[in-house]
Structures are given as C-alpha cells and as structure tokens.
Amino acid sequence: MSDLFSLEGHKALVTGANTGIGQAIAVALAAQGATVTCAGRRACDETVDMITRNGGSATTLLLDFADPMAARDSFAGAGYTLLVNNAGIIRREDSTDYSEADWDAVIDVNQKALFFTCQAFGRELIAQGKSGAIVNIASLLSFQGGIRVPAYTASKHAVAGITKILANEWAPHGITVNAIAPGYIATNNTDALRADPERAKAILDRIPAGRWGAAEDIGGTAAYLCSRAAKYVTGAVLNVDGGWMAR
C-alpha cells in the first residue's frame, strides 16, 4: 500500500499554476512523483523553480484561456495522464449593471475553456486506451449565489455540472473526473477580504476550523484525487472549506 498515493510515471498539466492554489497543486503533484507542466498566461518560472529545487520535474507552458481553445493542441502525443483545470477569472459588479463583455470574459475562461480543455485531454486518453484523472477547481459558489459576481457564480455552477457529465461518460474508459470546491483560502485573490476587519471576522466566525485555508490544503486534495487511492471516486465535488458548507 506504500505507493497508493504515488504519482510516479504520470505527466500532469496544471493550468493557472503561476501562484496561489494552482502553484500549490503543481508542487503537490510533483512531490508525489508526477512530471508537471505548469501552464499560465505568464511564465510559471517561480513554480518550476520550487519544484526542481526539491528534486521534482517541471516545465512551463504559456496558455491564455481568454481563447477557450488554447489547449486544444496540447495533448496529442504528449503523454499526459493527469489534468488539473485551475485557471479562472472573476469580475465584480452589481447584477443590474453587469456588462456583456465581463460576462463573456468570465464564461470563456471559467466554463468554456475548461470544457474544451477536458475534451482535448479526454479524446487523447480514449484514443490511446489509457486511464487518467481530471480535477476541476470549482468554488463554494458552485452551491451558493454570492454577491456581485453573477458570471463567476454561473460559471462555477457549470464547472460542477461539467464534472458530473464527463464523469458519467468517461468512467468506462478509466478516466475519473472530480472537482474541488475551495473555501476561503489565504492567497493574493483574498488579500482584500483579509484586509477588511469586518469581512474577515464574519468569514472566520462561520468557519468551524477557525482559520483561513492554505493553498497547500487544496494541493494535497488534488494529489489525492489524481492518485490510485481515489480510483473509485468520480463525479464528486469535494468541499475543502474548513467546514464552511456544513455550518
């Protein structure tokens, strides 16, 4: 059972791997032995350096998911068996004033690009007759409505649905498809919330664990879902939120 969580022999593509949650996921997969391609709209040199300094194997790949088809040619013949879709954007505005441009930008990256990246990955694995794993990064707003983020909420509800339909279709091919719904994680994306004493207190008061999550909490969960230990887990949207949704 010692190799139950090992990712030796696997090659992973992690999107949005520049910083924060994506970076932590890439580092976690590499720590379990995966060869990791760190993809982002900017070079992921810091993440690659973190991995290689610890004896892991990683490269960087420029992919800008403002083009939802950006990854369509990334998988053919490349040997990937793991995919983590972490790249995402958010635009904030009252729903009465939300623009079509902001709506389209968020949906293109968070929903459309995620689906077509999964499609390209799944097509290649199925054609090669190989098993593999996909982990999509959902959100607490895959279940809740939120405030002033209508496109983000719609897109993250869609991530949960896409995860489930692909799990249904691809389970017979040995491809698991799961999602992680992070809670409030201490990254640069939540700097403003944590700097607001009232909002920060309100958030902490609801989290049973009594702390903000760390990016590494999501990294460890992603590594598990990519491993042999999770081979019978598919179609799940796993909350990693310190108990927020149970409150």
| Active site annotation includes 98 | no
Spatial distance between the Cα atoms of 54 and 240, rounded to a whole number of angstroms = 26
Q: How many CA within 13 A on the CB side of residue 75?
A: 26
Q: Which of 80, 152, 184, 224 is catalytic?
A: 152
In three state form, how does the secondary structure of the chain look? CCCCCCCCCCEEEEECCCCHHHHHHHHHHHHCCCEEEEEECCCCHHHHHHHHHCCCEEEEEECCCCCCCCCCCCCCCCCCCEEEECCCCCCCCCCCCCCHHHHHHHHHHHHHHHHHHHHHHHHHHHHHCCCEEEEEECCHHHCCCCCCCHHHHHHHHHHHHHHHHHHHHHHHHCEEEEEEEECCECCHHHHHHHHCHHHHHHHHHHCCCCCCECHHHHHHHHHHHHCHHHCCCCCCEEEECCCHHHC
Residue 201, burial from CB neighbour count under 10 angstroms (0-12, 13-18, 19+): exposed
Spatial distance between the Cα atoms of 84 and 13, rounded to a whole number of angstroms = 6
Catalytic site positions: 152
